[in-house]
């Protein structure tokens, strides 16, 4: 195989969220909380919940079609589909296989990637290697979650934080000097205990008994995750900048993981960015984990916040504990 090195960039984006809007006042009817309690601590005003019968693959497929259309890519031209999710339709087949069938992407290899809220950034970094090496020309990277089905609606510290959605990017070759310029990712497995779903695999089977004990739901030590996030989100962006040969002053827009407005503000401060250069939509969608960054990226793109030649920084953190950042010059 004759492989030729290429620069890799994002050619198109898309996103999909359920129609059902659940406000903080709606949550206050379910659990002991209030709009003020949630919004002042997190920046969240509402979130979207998928109805019964709508699965992660459905949101992936809808968002993917938007991205394919915007990039002028036919499904049969896709070489690879990466679905980054911690809430797959099922363990086997992979959600990526289901999306491939839905799209008719008959020539694409597929796999699911698990890195929680850092998933999309991990996926783009992974996909970039295939493009840069010359192995593939068109890659679909999807971040998607239906977290509402893994939430304990008796736990106000977690159930108010999350929402459902999907975001997508089409990766492909771009002219030299554009595209992904710097990347950073990492993990601290010792922090896995701070954010997990105990009964979601072979360690503890997700039985009815486990469900009654609350083990099939998201468990989080909010204070520990917050401390970790404040420490790593700005830092991973700085490392990616260093590898790209750019500086903080070059940033046109930061698109961070939408987990908590205070964490976002902390990252902006570390990068010496005014909030006008930070894209925030946590108020509308809450934390959609792996879907968070790509949903925000697509909205920023479609709203005209990103133009050709702009330096865009993505930064996220998640369960694992994981983190990832990247710098790109938009093509």
Q: Mean pLDDT throughout 290-301?
A: 98
Residue 2 has pLDDT above 70, yes or no: no
Q: Mean pLDDT throughout 153-179?
A: 96
Joined together, the tokens standing for residue 220 give 């989080």
pLDDT at 173: 97
Beta-ladder partners of 326 = 183, 314
The answer to pTM > 0.85 is yes
Between strands 21-23 and 46-48, the pairing is antiparallel
Smallest CA-to-CA distance from 118 within 291, 2, 235 is with 291
Smallest CA-to-CA distance from 120 within 140, 143, 86 is with 143
Residue 1 has pLDDT above 70, yes or no: no
SS3 225: helix
Residue 201 has pLDDT above 70, yes or no: yes
Q: How confident is the model at residue 22 (pLDDT cuts 50, 70, 90)?
A: very high
Interval 102-145: pLDDT, tens: 999 999 999 999 999 999 999 999 999 999 999 999 999 999 99
Expressed in angstroms, the distance from the first to the final Cα of the chain is 28
The one-character DSSP state at 50 is P
Q: Tell me if 279 sits within 8 A of 257, measured CB to CB.
A: no
Residue with tokens 């491939």: 100
Mean pLDDT of the chain: 96
Q: Mean pLDDT throughout 215-231?
A: 95
Interval 225-248: pLDDT, tens: 999 999 999 999 999 999 999 999
* ∠ CA 89-90-96, rounded to 5°: 65
- Dihedral angle, C-alpha 239, 244, 247, 249, nearest 10 °: -120
Q: How confident is the model at residue 3 (pLDDT cuts 50, 70, 90)?
A: low
* ∠ CA 295-83-263, rounded to 5°: 40
pLDDT at 307: 96
CA distance 261 to 283: 9
Beta strands in the chain (DSSP E): 7-16, 21-23, 46-48, 80-84, 109-113, 139-146, 164-174, 179-187, 195-196, 219-220, 253-256, 311-318, 322-329
Residues recognised as catalytic: 117, 257, 287
Interval 23-43: pLDDT, tens: 999 999 999 999 999 999 999
CA distance 34 to 32: 7
Between strands 139-146 and 109-113, the pairing is unpaired
CA distance 164 to 56: 9
Q: Mean pLDDT throughout 262-270?
A: 97
Helix axis angle, 56-71 to 95-103, nearest 10°: 50
Q: Tell me if 311 sits within 8 A of 251, measured CB to CB.
A: yes
């Amino acid at each position: 195989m004759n492989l030729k090195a290429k620069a890799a960039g994002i050619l198109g984006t898309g996103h999909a969220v359920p129609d059902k809007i659940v406000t903080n006042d709606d949550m206050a009817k379910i659990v002991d909380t209030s709009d003020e309690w949630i919004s002042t601590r997190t920046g969240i005003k509402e979130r979207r919940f998928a109805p019964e019968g709508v699965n992660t693959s459905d949101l992936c497929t809808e968002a993917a079609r938007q991205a394919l259309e915007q990039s002028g890519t036919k499904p049969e031209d896709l070489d690879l589909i990466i679905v980054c999710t911690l809430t797959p339709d099922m363990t086997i087949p992979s959600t990526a296989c289901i999306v491939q069938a839905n799209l008719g992407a008959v020539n694409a290899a597929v796999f699911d990637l698990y890195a929680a809220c850092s998933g999309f950034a991990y996926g783009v970094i992974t996909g970039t290697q295939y493009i840069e090496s010359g192995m593939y020309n068109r890659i679909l990277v999807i971040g998607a979650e239906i977290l509402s089905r893994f939430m304990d609606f008796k736990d106000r510290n977690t159930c108010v934080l999350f929402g459902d959605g999907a975001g997508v990017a089409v990766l492909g070759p771009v002219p030299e000097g554009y595209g992904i310029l710097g990347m950073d990712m990492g993990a601290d497995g010792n922090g896995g205990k701070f954010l997990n779903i105990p009964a979601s695999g072979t360690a503890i089977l997700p039985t009815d008994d486990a469900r009654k004990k609350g083990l099939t739901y998201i468990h989080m030590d909010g204070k520990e995750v917050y401390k970790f996030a404040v420490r790593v989100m700005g830092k991973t962006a700085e490392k990616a900048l260093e590898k790209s040969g750019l500086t903080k002053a070059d940033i046109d827009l930061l698109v961070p993981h939408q987990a908590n407005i205070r964490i976002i503000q902390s990252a902006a401060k570390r990068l010496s960015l005014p909030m006008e250069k930070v894209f925030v939509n946590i108020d509308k969608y809450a934390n959609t984990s792996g879907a968070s960054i790509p949903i925000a990226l697509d909205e920023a793109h479609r709203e005209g916040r990103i133009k050709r030649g702009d330096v865009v920084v993505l930064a996220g953190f998640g369960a694992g504990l994981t983190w990832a950042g990247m710098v790109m010059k938009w093509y």
